[in-house]
């Protein structure tokens, strides 16, 4: 059972990946009996760089109880969309009119392919499949906590949004496809009746239409399961630096995500530390501290974690532990998992 899904979001370059990784490492140190998975949902994966090792599209152990993965959305979506496209093709070809117009067969074969399925849908399938963790669990590890490094805001919202809507997306896509050849096709409504009322044919052998309906039902159920999971155990933390653009971005992100996941904390990262002999640094720091105040006021019901810009880039397990110490000090795992304002 997944107890917690910690999601890190925010503008590009503010430290989402570093803080995700540092949080996963710190939690796995604090709770040695629990199993942790760090996942990158950013298409431009960089966990490998942060841990200075090769992670990629396979479950990679980093410590005794921490694994990481940088999944390839195409691999996860292809399985499903290949099958769906194949079934749609053979369903279409069974329509009586298609036999009369041979060109339509070619049109169907070349138009309705896995590649033609919208990218947004592929990403949604990939997101769900990963969070479902069935495949990962099948590899023998049951994760208690997932830490997810998310892409910048727009793509982040798309990941949350589509699980609820993907059946509609598939249907719309299929319908558009139908519409594009509808002039040549007769009896479409009859075909759809069959597709969407599979039980009328109960007792008879399962038709391709029934299988497609089953695929859509499964997809819908998985979407619901994932939406509920994110709603129940998801915990969003927005990362910002003490500057206007990224502050504005986390305000937008808060508004866009509030219906999907609870916002539990804001990280203000890379604050310039106090310097004895650097007027430039101190000037920059005082500008940043004004933003820190604004951010604290704006998010006054949310836990705020502040972290300075470290002298050394937080890379490798030790570097990430160092960043985690800077962020969390010595608060316990409970506070990190369930932050209170």
**Contact set with ligand ATP (CB under 6 A):** 12-18, 42, 46, 152, 269-270, 307, 309-310, 313-314, 323
For residue 34, what is the enclosing H or E element?
none
Spatial distance between the Cα atoms of 228 and 172, rounded to a whole number of angstroms: 24
123's contact among ligand ATP, Mg ion, none, with CB below 5 to 8 A by partner kind, is none
Select from ligand ATP, Mg ion, none the partner in contact with residue 73, using the beta carbon and a kind-dependent cut-off of 5 to 8 Å: none
Q: Which CB atom, from 14 or from 337, has the smaller least distance to ligand ATP?
A: 14
Q: Per rule CB under 5 A, is residue 17 in the interface with Mg ion? A: yes
Rounded to the nearest whole angstrom, what is the least distance from the CB of residue 328 to ligand ATP in the complex? 13
Tokens representing 147 are 């830490």
Nearer to ligand ATP, 219 or 271 (CB): 271
* Other beta carbons less than 10 A from residue 303's beta carbon: 17
Alpha-carbon distances, residue 54 vs 45, 121, 122, 137, 340 (angstroms): 11, 28, 25, 21, 36
Four-residue CA torsion sign, 161, 166, 169, 173: positive
Residue 137, CA distances (Å) to 21, 34, 90, 202, 222 in order: 21, 14, 33, 35, 16
Q: Nearest to Mg ion by Cβ — which residue?
A: 17
Our CB check for ligand ATP shows the closer of 171 and 289 to be: 289
Compute the least distance from the CB of residue 41 to ligand ATP, in Å: 11
The interface partner of residue 13, options being ligand ATP, Mg ion, none and the CB cut-off 5 to 8 Å by kind, is ligand ATP
Q: Which residues pair with 68 in a beta bridge?
A: 38, 60
Contact call for residues 148 and 20 (beta carbons, < 8 A): yes
Contact between 23 and Mg ion by CB under 5 A: the answer reads no
At its nearest, how many Å lie between ligand ATP and the CB of residue 267?
9
């Amino acid at each position: 059972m997944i107890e917690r899904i910690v999601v890190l979001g925010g503008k590009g370059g503010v430290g989402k990946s570093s803080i995700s990784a540092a949080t996963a490492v710190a939690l796995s140190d604090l709770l040695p009996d629990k199993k942790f998975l760090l996942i990158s949902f950013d298409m431009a994966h960089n966990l490998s760089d942060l841990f200075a090792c090769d992670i990629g599209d396979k479950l990679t152990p980093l410590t005794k109880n921490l694994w990481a993965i940088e999944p390839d959305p195409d691999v996860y979506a292809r399985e499903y969309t290949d099958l769906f496209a194949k079934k749609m093709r053979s369903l279409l070809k069974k329509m009586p009119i298609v036999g009369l117009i041979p060109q339509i067969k070619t049109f169907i074969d070349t138009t309705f392919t896995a590649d033609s399925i919208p990218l947004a849908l592929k990403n949604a399938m990939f997101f769900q499949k990963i969070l479902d963790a069935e495949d990962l669990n099948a590899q023998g590890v049951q994760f208690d906590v997932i830490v997810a490094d998310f892409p910048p805001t727009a793509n982040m919202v798309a990941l949350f949004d589509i699980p609820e809507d993907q059946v509609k997306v598939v249907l719309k896509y299929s319908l558009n496809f139908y519409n594009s050849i509808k002039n040549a096709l007769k009896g479409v409504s009859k075909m759809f009746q069959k597709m969407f009322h599979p039980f009328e044919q109960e007792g008879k052998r399962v038709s391709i239409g029934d299988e497609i309906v089953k695929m859509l039902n499964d997809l819908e159920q998985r979407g619901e399961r994932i939406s509920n999971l994110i709603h129940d155990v998801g915990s969003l933390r927005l990362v910002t630096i003490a500057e206007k653009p990224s502050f504005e971005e986390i305000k937008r992100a808060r508004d866009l995500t509030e219906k999907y996941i609870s916002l539990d904390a804001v990280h203000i990262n890379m604050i310039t530390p106090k310097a004895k002999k650097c007027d430039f640094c101190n000037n920059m720091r005082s500008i940043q501290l004004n933003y820190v105040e604004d951010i604290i006021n704006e998010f006054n019901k949310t836990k705020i974690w502040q972290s300075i810009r470290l002298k050394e880039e937080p890379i490798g397990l030790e570097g990430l532990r160092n960043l985690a110490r800077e962020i969390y000090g010595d608060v316990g795992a409970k506070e990190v998992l369930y932050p209170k304002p």
